[in-house]
Chains A and B, each alone.
Chain A
Amino acid sequence: MPVAIAGAAALTLTACGGVGGGDSGDDGGDAQSGGMSAEPGGSITTIGFALPDEIATVRVEAFEETYPDVEVNINEGGFDEQQFLSSVASGNPSELVYIPGDQVGAFAARGAIQPLDECVEQRDIDLEQYRPNVLDLVQYEGSTYAIPEFYNTPVLILNNTVLAEAGLTPEDIDIADQESLLAAAEAMTVRNGSTYERIGVHLRLPDITPFYGVLDGNPWVAAADDFLLDDPATVATMERLKAVQDAQGGHVALKDFENTWDLFGEGNPFAQNQVGAMVIEQWYVNVLANTSPDVDITVLPIADASGDTVTWATSNAWAIPDEADNTATACEFMKIMTAPDTWAAAAEERIQLRDAEGKAFTGIYTANEAADDKVFGELYTPGTGENQKWDDAVQAVLEAQADAWVMPANAVGAQFKDAWLEATNRILTGEQDAASALAEAQDKVEQALADVGS
């Protein structure tokens, strides 16, 4: 029955939606009762986190080796709001949840996750190690609510083969300059009507649309309660993005072509020359170095109109749900998972694996600056010869990451994303003009803010 969906989920399903794994066995001692300074013990369960590679598994193993008596259950899978909220509402949450950084504020505002101030203080988590801008993402109303992990920032990846074919050089691709961007996009795009062989400049829309607001000098969020979607500068940004998509055949056809890509495989769009230039987060450099080590690319930081490097950072973060058991162990887990030594151990493992395959190690990029210093200062060896391009890429990423804009934690992260995503899709597909779509989006966000406030 339709009515059962909401009600059943809110009440009845909570009974079977429990994901908590922290039994209150005797072996956990104080850790089970929630004292933050207690010796870790018992068991912990995580949700929203997966073990796709050595970077994840080595860090979990680091915790298990430090605390062999603790049973760690990694409930693998992406973050599922329904699963998480049902478990919290039922009073049976997991000990840890791994959530997108832009949702930390919303869950904090509603009390779905605990403030970690006591955890940070009593378990000696040195917040100064973490990048201050990423802490803005996980701190809400003066308290820390989550511990950030990765640090994702867009960079520009150029396909040198395609550029050469089109008679272009890397200097010709300027994302901030509309005229040269349009010219490059048109020069590199290859299509026959609506059937594509290549996208000239792939701006990764709508995924990272807010980044272009930052690039154009007008971030869409000024403060936790101050959104600028209907700002004339935002409208101008969206109009120029639509013009770039239209110059390449239109957003609908581009998206359709993008959906055919094997983004993570050996047949990726760079290996297949399906793209000339792409704006994408730095993790894709790692993907290419692993799947297509011979691909001919140039990675560049993205500069604004005045030539200054500009970027936007996102992150995922660990949090402890409200009323979770075994908080001391959970807190220690977060600390170890994001500690410099742990990241270094994971990096060493990856270096060994890449070495064994004759591939370049292109770094791991974390929200912990001390960890990055350790990885790039002590473990990373710049590539030479054929691997010089990967070293250049790493240097470009590090340059891009120096000063990234981060969205302030706010109580309506999900509504904000939904609003700008809807507006972006309507604008890019030509369903609605930028001014009215963004005005509607702004109204939605303000209404959501008012609802949370009331």
Chain B
Amino acid sequence: MSAADVRVPLAAPPMTRRRRWQAAWRRPETRWAYLFLLPWILGFLVFTAGPMLASLVLSFTDYDVINPATYVGGENYQRMVEDPEVRTALFNTVLYTVIHVPLSIAIALALAVLLNQIGGRFAGFFRTVFYLPAMTPTVAVGVLFLLLLNGQNGLVNALLRLFGINGPAWTTDPDWVRWGIIIMSLWTIGGTIVILFAALKNVPNDLYEAARIDGAGAWRQFREVTVPMISGSLFFVTIVNTIASLQMFTEVYTMFYGNAQSELQASDSALFYVIYLFQQGFQFLEMGYASALAWGLFAIVLIVTLVQVKLGDRFVYYEGDDR
């Protein structure tokens, strides 16, 4: 074979994004994929993106839901900054988030580790039992905990009395209302347990064997093997629980604002951000201001999530990653 016979293939011209898209679109799989995605895309546009855009516009207006909106510029945002109740609501919400998220993840992780130890025919039973509370409708959870947390005859204080502790008035004492809400929130950690349990199941046994051979005890194995290997899941539940906590509404609304009777015991301690937003929109007919509050919360959630993602890059281990 002579040198002349060696043919160097011509380099294909780089495909532009448009050409790549056109090439992909010619494939039937792509068209089918979009067809199946279409319901979600439509739903997203109509029920999420559209209202978001609308609320952004409304946030610059004075709008009472009934009459046409009138443009007021940045007044609603200025009011938001000056409103002392926004500060109260934000304080309650952030305090709840800061305590609830690590506490719930720690408890969920402990329970997931316990579940992981259970083998045999009882394993499925216990998994179901731990997840079951998460299936309870949130309104029912609110009502249930009004009873459980009652200072006079609630089960929580009855339990504390067994240890000689005279429990507080969790639902009526402003100093204890927030803690009562945090206790209630632990009822629904079943979802987090399931995610962490699944992650624990995926940790290879040979890593533990290697650690044991190296002389690592149980705590060391947990710290050096388990935690890094499930850090991706821990990161995920941290982000999801943080967002959910900042948006806390239903349970607290049911307990303290849901009807004429419950709102009578509402105190500043139970005023969460989304509840205040809801009050402004539907109770006081200030939908423009409520929209500004919604965007304020969106900005907070976005910033917190970005910070978490940035920090997560340092601490989260993904299998197959170089780090």
Contact = CB atoms under 8 A, between A and B. Distances in A.
A3 B265 CA distance: 28
Given A12-B46, A112-B66, A431-B174, A4 B51 contact: yes
Interface stretch (B4-12, B125-133, B272-280): B272-280
Contacts of B67: 110-111
B58 A3 contact: no
Given A4-B48, A194-B151, A207-B264, A11 B285 contact: no
B290 interface: yes
B46, B246, B263, B283 — most chain A CB neighbours (10 Å): B283
Size bin of chain A's contact surface: 35 or more
Interface string A384-408: 0000000000000000000000000
Contacts of B53: 7
Size bin of chain B's contact surface: 35 or more
Interface string B253-292: 0000001100111111000001001110111111100110
A225 interface: no
Contact of B282 (A8, A85, A253, A255): A85
B286 A451 contact: yes
Given A11-B54, A255-B265, A6 B287 contact: yes
B50 A11 contact: yes
A306 B212 CA distance: 87
B contacts with A: majority SS: helix
A1 B48 contact: yes
Contacts of A260: 150, 152-153
B77 to A, nearest CB: 14
B283 A414 contact: yes
B177 to A, nearest CB: 10
A281 interface: no
B47 A414 contact: no
B134 to A, nearest CB: 22
Interface stretch (B165-173, B198-206, B217-225, B306-314): B165-173
B285, B293, B297 — most chain A CB neighbours (10 Å): B285
B294 interface: yes
Given A3-B297, A7-B52, A12-B46, A421 B264 contact: yes
Given A85-B285, A256-B171, A6 B291 contact: yes
Contacts of A448: 284
Given A9-B282, A10-B65, A112-B66, A3 B169 contact: no
A256 B297 contact: no
A414 to B, nearest CB: 5
B73 to A, nearest CB: 14
A141 B234 CA distance: 60
B63 interface: yes
Interface in B211-265: 246-247, 259-260, 263-265
Contact of B293 (A6, A89, A106, A194): A6
B55 A3 contact: yes
A426 interface: yes
Contact of B151 (A256, A421, A431): A256
B298 A2 contact: yes
A206 interface: yes
B212 to A, nearest CB: 47
A92 B63 CA distance: 19
A257 interface: yes
B295 interface: yes
Interface string B106-150: 000000000000000000000000000000000000000010001
A1 B284 contact: no
Contact of B66 (A85, A206, A414, A415): A85
23 contacts: A3-B298, A4-B47, A4-B52, A6-B58, A7-B51, A9-B281, A10-B281, A11-B51, A11-B54, A81-B282, A85-B66, A110-B285, A194-B151, A252-B169, A256-B152, A256-B172, A259-B152, A414-B285, A418-B279, A418-B284, A421-B264, A425-B265, A425-B267
Given A7-B52, A81-B283, 17 more contacts: A2-B247, A6-B291, A7-B54, A7-B56, A8-B48, A8-B51, A193-B166, A194-B152, A196-B152, A207-B264, A253-B151, A259-B265, A260-B150, A414-B283, A421-B264, A422-B268, A426-B267
Interface of A: 1-12, 78, 81-82, 85-86, 88-89, 106, 110-112, 193-196, 206-207, 251-253, 255-257, 259-260, 322, 414-415, 418, 421-422, 425-426, 429, 431, 448, 451, 454
- Sorted nearest first, the 6 A-B pairs with minimum C-beta distance are A7-B55, A7-B51, A8-B51, A256-B151, A3-B294, A6-B290
